[in-house]
Every structure is written in C-alpha cells, then in structure tokens.
A = this chain, B = another copy of it.
Amino acid sequence: MEINQEELTYILNILDAEINQYKESDTSVHPYDIAEQLLKLRELSSEEYEKIIKKMPHELFAEVLSELPDYVQEETADIFSVKKLANIASLMDTDDAATLIQNISEEHEEISQDILGHFDDEDKELMKQLISYEWDEAGSYMQTELFSAKIDENIGVALERLKVLKISGEVDNIWHVHLVNERDKYLGSVGLEDLIIFDHALNFEDIPYDKHKNYSVNHKENIKDVVEKVTNYNLNAIAVLDNKNRLIGRITSDDIYDIIEETATEQIFNLAGVNDEAEQDEDMFQIGKTRAIWLGLNLLTAIAASLVIGMFDATIQSLVALAILMPIVASMGGNAGTQTLTVTVRQMALGDIEGEDAKKTIYKEVVISLVNGTFFAIVIGIIAYFWFNMPMLGVVIGLSMIINLLGAGFFGSVIPLVLQRAGVDPAIGSSVLLTTVTDIVGFFSFLGLASIILL
C-alpha cells in the first residue's frame, strides 16, 4: 500500500511533541497517548516506527511498551539487542516485564532466556517465578512493587521510608501500607488516607487496620476468584500471598479492569465459536484457520441434522410443505436455546448461579420455554393451517414447536451446568452442542409427528 505522506508527517509531529513533553516532565502526556500514536505509525511505516522507538529514552519506551499489544511486544526481539531489551525490561514494573519476556518467548525462546541472563540473580529468580505462573493464576497478574511495613514499625518512620522509595522511583501507585509480622506473614492493610488521622509517633499495631480475610489472595488462586473478591469488596488493590501466607505482591485496579474486559471478551467470543487469542493475530489466515475448526464442528452437526431429515425423505416427497416449514421449528429452537444458554453462561461467570441455584435455574428456564413454546405453537399452528390449508399440519408444527422449545430451555441450561461440573469452561463448545440438540430434536419431532399424524 502507498504511504499517506501527509498522515505520516502529522503523526511524526505529534510523537515528536509528546516525546519532548515527556522529557520535560510535563505531566499532561501519558505513555498511553504515545503508544496510541506509535501503533498508527507502525501501520503506516514500520521503518519510521523503528527509527522512533530506537531513539526514545529507555525509561519512556519501557512505559510505552507496557501499553502496546502482545504482537508488538513480540517483535521487539527483532528490533533491539538483547542487552537493550534487558535494560528496558528492568525499567518496567515486574508484572509488565514478565509479560514482555513471555511475549518474546512465544517466538524467540532463546532471546527471552538471554534477556534473563542479563538480570542479577535475585531479579532472575523473581522473573522466572513470575513467568512460571499459569495465565489464570493470581501470581501471573501481580506486581511485586508495593509498600509493606512490619506491624511493630513506627508510622512516621515507615512514611519516611516510603518517601525515599517514591523519590527513587522504586514504587508508584501506593494507596496502602501492607502490614506483615516479623516472618513476613501478611496481617492486613491500612490506607494512606487513614494514616493521616493517626499520630505518627504510634506503631502500626496501635491503630485499627483492615484484616478482612478476603482482602488477600493466594498466588495460585484462580484470577476469576480474585476479580470476584476485588469487585465484591470494592477494593482498588489486593495483596497476594504465597503458600506460607507471606506477602509477595499485589494486584491493582488497572489489572482488574483488563481482566474483567478480557474475560468478558473471551466469553462473548467462545459463545460465538471464536477464539479470543487467535483473533489478536495479525495474520488473517491464522484467524481464519482457527475459525474454520469451529465451522468444521458445525458442519458435522449440520450433517447430523441432515441425516435426520434424510430418514423422512419419503414423507417430505409426499408433502413438500414439510420442507418449507421445517427450518422454522429448528430456527426457533436454536434461538430460544441460545437465549437460555447465554443467560446461564453469563450468570455462572458472574457467580450468580452457585450450588443449589442450579436446580432453580433449570426449573426457571423450562417454565419460560414451556410458556413461550405454547404461545408460539399456537401462532405458527394457525399460520401453517391457513398457509397450506391443512388443520393437522398446524397441529403437527405446534406440537413440535412445544417439544423443541422445551428441549431448548432444558438443554440450554443443563449443558453449561454439566460442562462446568466436568471442569470445562461452559462458554466453549456449548453453542455447538446446543444447536445440535435443537436441530435434531426440531427436525425429528416435526417430521416424525408429520409421518405419524399426516400420512
């Protein structure tokens, strides 16, 4: 594609201004703004993009890179030397550095190892630990930068310590002091705002602090449970503990925003037979390939439904009205089932369906689908009667509508519940399973009833 020279100059000018603002410590520019322009530039001219990022101050590029998507982080391995990459990573927050190294390791395992080799032993161990977490474990989202104090420390002394850490740039976005005992065991937290109230001559143990058991999580805890705690208790950060309850990190509100959004995207995509990670690929043939797997599964279920129709070929031959009407029954079942399935999957994800609620959910969905099934049975029954002037055809399609909508409500709620009990994400695969059911039940009940009642 031809480069739009005007746009290129425009973006280069913006970037130039923003980078200068940053250099002058002007707080009205944010790394996100620079990242946004860089992404546009990268689309226009990868050459200019590389030129700019190579001459950016490392501190700035470290911050900007944290805001850039995974595939852009990945390709830095082709642009920078290992030494430079190690330097950039060391300037990032630990969680962002771990993400960068993980992204690089996707395509360049050796380079990511070489980067780790440039770290001192302590940092190397820490990075290895962070990278080792599974993507759904709390530890993989935590940053180790935080501010903690021993419970018997003097408040004033601790605040002086924080001042030094802040000035050196070692910590940022500190809203709490996390309190630990002499063996680093986590005891609770106190907000900076609360410290203002108390006499700074006191020790932390002398003042009331939050010791709610749910204000901390184990590092191996599922990230979805972490999100549930943070949102239920309206926290803006949560402490992460190791198996000995020692404080090892924290997860902050900005991570929680991302996780909530990503989890929702994953669900929406999975319900539609799309893989959220594959969709982020730059290569559209890769995207297409992943989607094709799903379509292939769907083809199998569609053929299964066709086999059911094939069982009744003689029936259809003698009454072609059946071929005309049969997609209506299947379509209504598919839609009603999707309604039930979607509501069930989402409410499960939000923690609204737990334990005993499962039975209630199935009961509710069956009642709703029975009522709606009866209503639409009457409507389509009358339509079919007048359309083909056959009263019994109306009875047949009406009955099969009730059967199929009932099945849709039942299986729409049962499938995700059963998948979850079996340890499978209920959003994955449930749509295909469900439409298989509603297609087969729809065609079989309609054509079966027709061959019994009409012929």
Contact = CB atoms under 8 A, between A and B. Distances in A.
Interface of A: 25, 27-30, 32, 159, 162-163, 166-167, 172-175, 188, 191-194, 196-197, 208-214, 230-236, 252-254, 256-258, 260-261, 264-265, 267-269, 271-274, 279, 284-285, 287-288, 291-292, 294-296, 298-299, 301-303, 305-306, 309-310, 313, 316-317, 320-328, 330-332, 335-336, 338-339, 341-343, 346, 350, 364, 367-368, 371-372, 375-376, 379-380, 383, 435, 439, 443
Given A30-B214, A368-B291, A320 B327 contact: no
What 9 pairs between A and B have smallest CB-CB spacing?
Answer: A264-B264, A272-B342, A234-B254, A323-B323, A253-B253, A288-B368, A302-B331, A302-B328, A231-B257
Given A230-B257, A335-B273, A292 B372 contact: yes
B371 A288 contact: yes
Contact of A211 (B27, B291, B317): B27
A389 B43 CA distance: 50
Contacts of A214: 30
Interface centre among A163, A264, A339, A380 (most CB of B within 10 A): A339
Copies in the complex: 2
Contacts of A193: 162, 166, 172-175, 192
A364 B288 CA distance: 10
Given A163-B196, A291-B372, A212 B274 contact: no
27 contacts: A27-B212, A28-B212, A29-B212, A30-B212, A32-B232, A175-B236, A234-B254, A236-B253, A236-B254, A256-B257, A269-B346, A271-B272, A273-B339, A285-B371, A292-B372, A294-B339, A295-B335, A295-B376, A298-B331, A303-B328, A306-B328, A309-B323, A309-B324, A309-B327, A313-B324, A316-B316, A327-B443
